[in-house]
């Protein structure tokens, strides 16, 4: 892995050549670190020049990421494990049945209950239950998000044409010019007040497409404590993983 030095600090980074690129793009991610997408024929010295120029920003971003809580252990979807939904942890109970071949997952009496074949590959069972949990969160979470849209949209004088839950790599939400709002399904693992922040954030984008001062003023008029919710998402958001 290449390294560049800024002052007394050495920073590792990865390089990702892309033929269609005309300049360098730098990203600093919690799990993958510093990565640089570059034109195909660029030389290492040119990359170092770009990194040196952006070094203060990179160091600030790395310092911010160090504040993030450690990622919890990967969910195995076994009995006794807790699954997150709307800021709460619900215990999972897994039953086995020799008469079935498929895996199923339901929410009953305040906990998740799964039924799986008695003899099956544990990795396969975990993968199946993970997907079913995601499907459950999307199905039930969409109703919650829709209710919050109906609550906040009139206050902002906007009306989304459609609301969709899906997985997004680097965003918690997005809003198209045609009024379609996309919400990252993973936010449904966070407390409801954080879901509200993401929903209102995207609704405000229907009035202000960018993050101008008008955008933040409008957001604050509906959600005066948005700073606290935004900070929670900065620190805790990367931990919303299965």
Which domains are seen in the chain, by residue range? 3-65 (no CATH), 82-239 (3.30.2010.10)
Phi and psi (nearest 5°) for 54?
-95, 5
Give the mean model confidence (pLDDT) for residues 134-153: 95
Query: What is each CA distance from 111 to 59, 67, 114, 115, 120, in whole angstroms?
Result: 43, 32, 10, 13, 23
Give the mean model confidence (pLDDT) for residues 202-228: 94
Could you give the CA distance from residue 82 to residue 93 in angstroms, rounded to a whole number?
A: 9
Give the mean model confidence (pLDDT) for residues 97-115: 93
**Lowest mean pLDDT, pick from 60-64, 84-88, 99-103, 151-155:** 60-64
Question: What's the mean pLDDT when you consider all of the chain?
Answer: 89
Which single residue is written with the structure tokens 């170092």? 48
Give the mean model confidence (pLDDT) for residues 143-171: 91
Give the mean model confidence (pLDDT) for residues 95-109: 92
- The structure tokens listed for 135 are 């499907």
Could you give the CA distance from residue 240 to residue 235 in angstroms, rounded to a whole number?
A: 10
Q: Is the pLDDT of residue 95 over 90?
A: yes
The whole-angstrom distance between residue 117's C-alpha and the CA centroid of its chain comes to 32
What three-state secondary structure class fits 9?
strand
What three-state secondary structure class fits 39?
coil
pLDDT, residue 236, reads 85
Look at 12 and 107; give whichever has higher pLDDT: 107
pLDDT, residue 68, reads 67
Q: For residue 164, give the H/E element and its range.
A: strand 162-166
Of the candidates 100, 133, 135, 132, the one whose C-alpha atom is nearest the C-alpha of residue 116 is: 100
Could you give the CA distance from residue 237 to residue 182 in angstroms, rounded to a whole number?
A: 17
Q: At what angle do helices 192-205 and 213-222 cross, to 10 degrees?
A: 140
Sign of CA dihedral 61, 71, 68, 234: positive
User: How are strands ordered across the β-sheet holding 111-117?
Assistant: 82-85, 88-97, 111-117, 104-108
Could you give the CA distance from residue 197 to residue 173 in angstroms, rounded to a whole number?
A: 10
């Amino acid at each position: 892995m290449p390294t560049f030095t800024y002052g007394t600090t050495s920073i590792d980074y990865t390089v990702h050549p892309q033929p269609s690129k005309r300049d360098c793009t730098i990203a600093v991610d919690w799990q993958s670190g510093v990565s640089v997408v570059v034109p195909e024929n660029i030389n290492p010295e040119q990359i170092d020049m770009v990194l040196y120029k952006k070094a203060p920003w990179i160091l600030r971003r790395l310092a911010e990421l160090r504040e993030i809580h450690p990622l919890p252990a990967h969910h195995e979807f076994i009995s006794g494990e807790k699954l997150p939904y709307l800021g709460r942890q619900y215990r999972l109970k897994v039953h086995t049945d020799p008469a079935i071949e498929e895996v199923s997952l339901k929410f009953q009496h305040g906990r998740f209950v799964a039924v799986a074949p008695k003899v099956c590959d544990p990795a396969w069972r975990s993968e199946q239950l993970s997907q079913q949990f995601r499907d459950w969160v999307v199905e039930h979470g969409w109703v919650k998000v829709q209710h919050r849209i109906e609550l906040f949209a009139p206050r902002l004088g906007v009306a989304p044409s459609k609301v969709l839950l899906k997985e997004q790599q680097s965003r918690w939400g997005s809003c198209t010019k045609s009024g379609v709002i996309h919400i990252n399904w993973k936010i449904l693992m966070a407390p409801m007040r954080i879901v509200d922040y993401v929903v209102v954030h995207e609704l405000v984008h229907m009035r202000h497409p960018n993050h101008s001062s008008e955008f933040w003023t409008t957001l604050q008029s509906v959600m005066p404590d948005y700073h606290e919710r935004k900070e929670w998402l900065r620190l805790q958001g990367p931990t919303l993983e299965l």
